[in-house]
A = this chain, B = another copy of it.
Amino acid sequence: MSCASERIFQAIAIARYAKEIGADAIAHGSTGAGNDQIRFDMTFLVMAPGVEIITLTRDKKLTRKEEVDYLNEHGFFADFTKLKYSYNVGIWGTSICGGELLDPTQGLPEDAYLKHVTAPEKETTLKITFDKGEIVAVNDEKFDDKVKAIQKIEEIGASYAIGRDANVGDTIIGIKGRVGFEAAAPKLIIEAHRLLEKSTLSKWQQYWKDQVANWYGMFLHESQYLEPVMPDIEAMLTSSQRNVTGTAILKLRPYGFETVGIDSVNDLTKSKLGEYGETQTGWTADEAKGFIKVSSTPLRVYYGIHKDEKR
């Protein structure tokens, strides 16, 4: 996700700048094998139609060695040693390719990761506060700048080496690829946000939000950020967040974390109508029985007619 959204917004910024300066062409260094060529090309084709797209690495199938030789010949020297892994570091985490990941039976070893357990305490509490679904505070410290809030969470989470994973996913080009991640901030923020949503959204708000958010993530990954449906989904997501206000509490420990609880004025579990597992106050025993009787009607109808259907 991290890489996908970065590329799109880089591409949009580049397309705008190209139009602004009246550029005839845009060059990018993607190969012909992966997702990024699509994110760049597609955005340029749509937002800067008529501007030529130059992609020598793709067109000439340049190998890494050819590229390094060319740079050296032209006076550019640096440590071009091919790393065992290739890293892509962004605000939303680091993606890792290569190495053991090329063998589907293996995971990444400790030294493939850039962040390691450095926290002095064995565990710590992390509190993330949201206002209408957006982060406004971390451990009670207010953040006006959301990027700084994300970086704060990343710093804390990374010190526990949280957010490591290797994922097999479908590339836009149709093959499956395997990528490693270390992404403490998104892992922690997503879980904290979900924890708060579970107590502040209705059942069906959660159901539909999950439906469209799942699609939104897929489309963002697949270079479809500009698809006209995306603002429609954004409108639904924004509406769904109107009550997602409060603090989610997590307990971090090396390599993982657990949820603790939430504190929200919109907490629907605090209703006086009933307490799960205790004597209820929102309805009587007879009302519950009536509810069950009527709720069972479709099944009573069905099995009344299909007496032989086995389950």
Chain A residues at the B interface, C-beta cutoff of 8 Å = 12, 31-34, 37-38, 41-42, 45-47, 49, 55, 58-59, 61, 63, 86, 97-98, 102-107, 164-171, 173-179, 195, 198-199, 201-205, 207-212, 214-215, 219, 224-236, 238-240, 242-243, 249, 251, 253, 255-256, 258-264, 266-280, 282-306, 309, 311
Cα of A295 to Cα of B261 in the assembled complex, Å: 27
A280: chain B residues at CB < 8 Å are: 31-33, 173
Q: Given contacts A33-B280, A175-B301, A303-B226, are A42 and B292 in contact (CB under 8 A)?
A: yes
Cα of A38 to Cα of B296 in the assembled complex, Å: 9
Cα of A225 to Cα of B302 in the assembled complex, Å: 13
Cα of A210 to Cα of B213 in the assembled complex, Å: 14
B271–A305 CB distance below 8 A:
yes
A253: chain B residues at CB < 8 Å are: 255
Q: Shortest 4 CB-CB distances between A and B: which pairs?
A: A290-B290, A177-B276, A174-B297, A287-B290
Copies in the complex: 4
CB < 8 Å neighbour of A46 from B224, B266, B286, B299: B299
Cα of A231 to Cα of B303 in the assembled complex, Å: 14
CB < 8 Å neighbour of A239 from B232, B251, B292, B305: B232
Beta-carbon nearest neighbor of A42 in chain B: B296
Cα of A174 to Cα of B309 in the assembled complex, Å: 20
B202–A298 CB distance below 8 A:
yes
A288: chain B residues at CB < 8 Å are: 32, 37, 58, 173, 290, 294
CB < 8 Å neighbour of A261 from B104, B211, B239: B104
A300–B205 CB distance below 8 A:
no
Could you show 7 A-B contacts with beta carbons less than 8 Å apart?
Answer: A33-B277, A34-B276, A46-B296, A49-B300, A174-B294, A212-B212, A267-B305
Beta-carbon nearest neighbor of A304 in chain B: B271
A46: chain B residues at CB < 8 Å are: 296, 299-300, 303
A59–B285 CB distance below 8 A:
yes
Cα of A148 to Cα of B90 in the assembled complex, Å: 45
Q: With a 10 A CB-CB cut-off, give which of A41, A209, A277 has the most chain B CB atoms.
A: A277
B261–A106 CB distance below 8 A:
yes
Cβ distance A303 to chain B, nearest Cβ, rounded Å: 5
Q: Given contacts A262-B105, A295-B291, are A176 and B199 in contact (CB under 8 A)?
A: yes
Q: Given contacts A255-B256, A304-B271, are A292 and B236 in contact (CB under 8 A)?
A: no
